Every structure is written in C-alpha cells, then in structure tokens.
Amino acid sequence: MTAEVKPSPRERLLEAAATLTYRDGVGIGVEALCKAAGVSKRSMYQLFESKDGLLAASLKERASAYVATLLPVADDGRSPRERILHVFEQVESQAGTPDFRGCRYLAVQIELKDQSHPASRVAHQVKANLTVFFRSEAEQGGASDPDLLARQLGLVFDGASARAGIGADKLMGLIMPTASTLLDAAGMR
C-alpha cells in the first residue's frame, strides 16, 4: 500500500488562491487564503513575495490547463472555422455548469484595473494568446481582415464569459450563432 502524497504548502496555497479568487474575487484576504491552504502567513511570505505574487503564480500555473480545455489541439484536421468554433463550444459548455463564474483571466483584469499588477500581466498574456490564436486561424481560413475578426471574436468571447459568469444570460443557442455570423461576414471557410 502506498502512502498518499500530501500537497506541499506551496501547492496548497496555489490551489486556495485559484479557488477562492475565482469564487470570491481578488480582494480575498491573506488570512482566508492561508486558512484555506492550512499554511501560516509566515510560510506564505516565505514562499511568495506577496499576495500579489501568489495570485500571479496561481494564474500562471493554471494557464496551460485553461488553454488545453479551451483550444483545439494543433493540426487536428479541422478547418480554421471549425477550430475557432471549437473555442466557443467550450465556453458554451463551461457556462452551463453551476460553478461557472466566467473567464478567470478577464475577471482578474477587471477587478485589478492596474495593468502593471503581476496577476494582471499574467491574465493579459493569456488573453493576448487567445487573440493570436483567433488571428492565426482567421488568416489560415481566408478571413478578409484577420486582425479585425480576431478582435471581434475576443469581444464575443469576453462578453459571453462575463454575461454567463454573472448569470445575466444563458449562452446556449446564442454564442455559436453569433460567432458563426462573424465568421460568415469575414468570409471564413
């Protein structure tokens, strides 16, 4: 019988930061983060320079999993149009779950407002990478203006995530036709 490996204090802090900030926002206190992680404040400050550093590290650590659930795998044989629509299918699917609170990376940028904040910089990079994906697929799919289409798709993505995250709208039957209309208007194949 093998012993269960207990997550390290660092891993517990990163998980607590991810969970609590997604649920309650970035204003969550150090005390609550440490309590949820079962780690002393002293230990937290030994592991991370600040709460801001912890939040940035937590977002960065989750970025690859976020991208893996959102974006299609490279060279999957689908058309650029289908690859873009895959992203919106994922958003629509995630938005249907009870614990969906929108895109964590967008929420952090909105809450912090300070673009120089370490967590905001991580979130900005994740969002910029999504725009790069949209632009690349738009270009490969023959869009008339790949830059404009990428920006429009980002707007729809963020708007849909935000509205679903606050419970203002249901995305089923709304997001896919909206994205398809943009793709049609841009001449995407």
In a domain, 34, yes or no: no
In a domain, 22, yes or no: no
Q: Which domain holds residue 181?
A: 51-185
In a domain, 101, yes or no: yes
In a domain, 125, yes or no: yes
Q: What is the 3-state secondary structure (H, E, C) of 105-126?
A: HHHHHHHHCCCCCHHHHHHHHH
CATH number at residue 117: 1.10.357.10
How many other CB atoms are there within 10 angstroms of residue 65's CB atom?
A: 9
In a domain, 165, yes or no: yes
> What pTM, to 2 d.p., does this model score?
0.90
CA angle 48, 61, 75 (to 5 degrees): 160
In a domain, 40, yes or no: no
Averaged pLDDT, groups of 10, the chain, 189 residues long: 79 96 93 96 95 96 92 93 96 88 92 92 96 97 97 96 86 90 94
Number of domains within the chain: 1
Q: Dihedrals φ, ψ of 127, to 5°?
A: -70, -40
For the chain, helix, strand, coil in percent to 5 are: 70, 0, 30
How far is Cα 27 from Cα 25, in angstroms, rounded to an integer?
5
